[in-house]
Structure 1
Amino acid sequence: MKLTPLQKKEIRDKIDEIISDYTNLVSGIDNEAQNDEDRAYGGIIRAGKGKLVEEMATRLVQIAWINVLKQNEERLQINKRKAPISITEKYIERQEPLLKAYLLSHKAEQRYKFGTDVQVFIDDKLVLPIECKAYTENAMLKRILFDAVLAKEAYGVSRYYLVQLESQLGGDYCELKEPTYGSPASHALMSHVDVDLTIITLLKGERDINRPIHKKEFFKKLTPEILENTIEKFATALEPYKC
C-alpha cells in the first residue's frame, strides 16, 4: 500500500523522532566506544548499531499498525519469544546404529530454541519475523536464510524480512530505488530456500569498511522517504490482519 499525503503528515513527527535518535546514536557511538575501557571497541560499535536497527524496526511496525492501519494496539505484540525446533526423523534415520538408538531414546531432548530479532505477533500469531543488521553481506545472508527456514518450520510463516542499515550484498540493494533488482549472488542463495525474503536497506550507498558511518566524515543521513517506504512495506504485510 502507498501512504497518502495525509498519512505522511500524520506520522511525520514520529519519523522525525526516529531520524533524530538515529543521528544522535550514530554520531555519539564512536566516543562511547573509545571511552569504554572494559569492552572491545568493535563490539560496542556492532552492538550499538544492531540494537538501533531493532528499535527502529519495532517503531516502524508500530507506526504501520497503529497510525497507518488504525488498528488496536493491544492486538500487537513485539517480542523475542523463542519456539522449540525438534530433531527430524530423516536425520535420525540416516545415523549409524548406536547414534540412532541414542537419539531415538533421547528424542524429546533434541531441541533448539529459535527466535529472531524482532518478532511481530498479531492476536498471538507470528506474522512478521524481522532480522536486523547494521549491514549484511552474502556469507551472512546464508545464515539468515537458514533462520528463515527455521521460522517457517516453527511458525508456518512463508515470508521473512531483513532490515539493514547498510548493504554489502552487491547489486542495487544499496541504491534505495523501486523496483530493486538485487544481486546475482543473493538471488542464487535465496533460490535454494522455500521462503520469500524481503530485504530493506535504510542508508544509501554500499557499505565501505574503510568509511564507517559512525565516523563524522562518513556519516550517512537517514531520510524520511526511506522510512515512509519501509512503513508502507510493513503496512502491506500487516493489512491482511486488519479487523
Structure 2
Amino acid sequence: MDLLQICSLKKKYRKKISKGTVVETVAIDKMNFRIESGSFISIMGKSGCGKTTLLKLIGGLDTPTEGEILYKGKLLTKLSHDQLAQYRREQIGFVFQDYNLMDSLTIKENIMLPMLLDHKKLKEIEESVLYYAQRFGIRKHLNKYPGELSGGEQQRASICRALSNNPKLILADEPTGNLDSQSSKEVVRCLKEMNQELRKTVILVTHDPYIASFADEVILLKDGLIERCLVNHMEKDQFFKMLIEHLNAF
C-alpha cells in the first residue's frame, strides 16, 4: 500500500539579489514517485540537488510551488495550518544531522517533549520513554544533559524522541553526518531496526553510500530531478559496490 505519492512536484525559490533583480532557483522539478508503507528509502545526490527540500516538503515544513503530495491518499496542500501541525506531530518523526536536542533539558525531558505537547498521559509518556531508551541503549543517560553525551548517544536520543509519538513515517536528514564511523553504524542499525522490527517507513537523506546501502531502494537526485532508482535485491555488500559504481559515474 502506498503511504506517500509524489505527483509532478515542483519547488521554486525566488531571491532578490539587487534592486529590480530577482533570481529564481528550481530545487525540485516535476518529480514523481511512490513510497510504500514499511519501506526504507535512501536519497542521495550532490549538495544543492534538492534532497533536504524534498524532505521538508514531505514533512509539511514547506509548501510546493506546483504538484501534489498525498499521504495516505490525503493532499497535504489541502490541510489547514492546524491540520499540518497535527500531521507533523502525529504522523512524522524527524531526525536531524545536528540532533536538535534542547541543551537545557535532560535526555528524558527531550524525549518526553513531543508527547507533552500532544497532551499524553504521564504514565503513557513514562512508559514510552523507558521503552525506547532501553531499546536504543541510552536508558542510563536519561538524567544527563545532551552536552554530557557523545554524538552517537545524542543521535540515538534524537531517534527515541522521533519515535515517542509512534509516527508512521521517519524523515532522517543526514543523521550520521557529524558522527564517526562506529557511531554511524550504531545509528543506521537503529534506523534499520525501526524499519524492520517497528515497521516504520524510513526516508533517509545521506551522502554516505555505506549508510545508503542499508535501504531497500536508493533514489539518486540531480538538479532537482530523479536521475536513477536503484532497488536492493542483493546482499548489502554487493549493493554497496553497485551503488559506488553508479555514484562514480553520476
TM-score bucket of the superposed structures, by smaller chain: 0.3 to 0.5
Rg larger in structure = 1
Query: Normalized against structure 1, the TM-score is what?
Result: 0.35
- The answer to which structure has the higher helix fraction is 1
Query: Normalized against structure 2, the TM-score is what?
Result: 0.35
Structure number with higher relative contact order (C-alpha < 8 Å, ≥ 6 residues apart):
2
